[in-house]
Amino acid sequence: MTAVKALVFDTFGTVVDWRSGIARALAPFLVAHGRPDLDPFALADAWRRRYQPAMEECRAGRRPFTRLDVLHRENLETMLADHGVSAAAADLDALNLAWHALDPWPDVILGLHRLRRKFFVAPLSNGNILLLANMAKRAGIPWDAILGAETVQAYKPQPEAYTRTAEILGITPAELCLVAAHNGDLRAARAAGLATAFVFRRAEHGPGQATDMTAEDPWDWVCQDFVDLAKQLDC
C-alpha cells in the first residue's frame, strides 16, 4: 500500500457535533421569537436536511458553485418558514453563524495534535473557508491549512473535490487519506483513488441514529475516534 502523507477530514459529524451546536443556538432564538413550543433538535435536523439538496443544485450544474454560508442562510429561511417562524434578517444572519461555532467531539483536539506531528492535516469539508477557519480558531483545532469545497470549487462527493485536494498538496490520491464518519463520503473518496479511514460517530444524529453505525466496506482503517486513529498510525 502507498504510504499516506496527508490526512483530510470530513467536518460536520466527523470533527464537530453539528446537531447539538445548532440546537444550542436555535433554543434561545426560538424563545426570543415566541416559539418555545418548537424542538430545537428537530429544527436542527430540518435545517440539515436541506443541506444535500442545496449542494446538489451546484453539483448538477444548475447553479454555479455557491459557498455553504449562502446555502445555509437560504435553507434557514425556508426551514423557519415551514415552521411558521419569521425573524429579522439580522437575526437570521447571526443564527447562520452557529455553523461557525460548533464544538469538536472530545477526542478531536488531542487526536489531531498527535496526528499532525507525522501527517499534514486539513479539513476536506463542504463548509466554506471562513466557516471552517472560524470554527478552528474558536475551538483550537490545529489544522495545517483550511481546505475543502470552496478551495477546489466542487462539493463532495464530486470526484474533483478529492482529486484537486491531492493536487494542491502535491501528492497522488493514494497518498491522501480521507477520515470520515460517513460510508458514502468514503466510497466516493475511494473511487477517486484516496485511502480511507472510517471513524465511528454514533451520536451524530442523536439517540435514534440509524445510519453509519457500521463500517460498510473494508476501509483501510476503522477507528473508534481520532486518538485511536493516531495510535493505529503510530503517532
Nearer to its own copies, 30 or 68 (CB): 68
Which residue, 136 or 189, has its beta carbon nearer to its own copies? 136
Query: What is the Cα–Cα distance from 186 to 231, expressed in whole angstroms?
Result: 21
Taking the C-alpha atoms of residue 105 and residue 225, their distance in angstroms, rounded to an integer, is 9
Q: How many residues bind its own copies (CB under 8 A)?
A: 20
Locus of grid cell 495510535: 231
> What angle, rounded to 10 degrees, do the helices at 18-32 and 40-49 form?
120
Q: Give the three cell numbers for residue 161.
A: 473535490
User: Are 198 and 180 contacting, i.e. CB atoms less than 8 angstroms apart?
Assistant: yes
Residues 67-126 that bind its own copies (CB under 8 A): 69, 116, 120, 122
In whole angstroms, how close is the CB of 6 to its own copies at the nearest point? 9
Pairwise CA distance, residues 51 & 56, whole Å: 9
Residue 163 or 183: the one with the smaller Cβ distance to its own copies is 163
Q: Which residues inside 123-162 make contact with its own copies, applying CB under 8 A?
A: 128-130, 132-133, 136-137, 144-147, 150-151
Region from 38-46, 106-114, 166-174, 178-186 binding its own copies, contact rule CB under 8 A: 166-174
Residue type, 190: R
Chain center to CA of 88: 28
Q: How far is the CB of 208 from its own copies (least distance, A)?
A: 35
Pick the piece of the chain touching its own copies (CB under 8 A) from 11-19, 25-33, 163-171, 219-227. 163-171
CA atoms within 13 A on the CB side of 84: 5
Sketch the per residue contact string, 33 through 72, with its own copies: x for CB under 8 A, - otherwise. ------------------------------------x---
Q: Helix (H, G, I), strand (E, B), or coil: what is residue 86?
A: coil
Torsion (CA) 102, 166, 230, 104 in degrees, nearest 10: 0
Stretch 170-189 residues interacting with its own copies (CB under 8 A): 170
C-alpha cell at 190: 475511494
CB of 230 to its own copies, least distance (A): 17
Do the Cβ atoms of 21 and 98 come closer than 8 Å? yes
The nearer residue to its own copies, 19 or 100, going by C-beta atoms, is 100
Give me 149's grid cell: 469545497
Q: How far is the CB of 187 from its own copies (least distance, A)?
A: 26
Provide, rounded to whole angstroms, the least separation between the CB of residue 213 and its own copies. Answer: 34
Write out the E strands in 24-166: 120-125, 147-148
Query: CB of 214: closest distance to its own copies in angstroms?
Result: 34
Judged by the rule CB under 8 A, the positions of this chain that interact with its own copies are: 69, 116, 120, 122, 128-130, 132-133, 136-137, 144-147, 150-151, 168-170
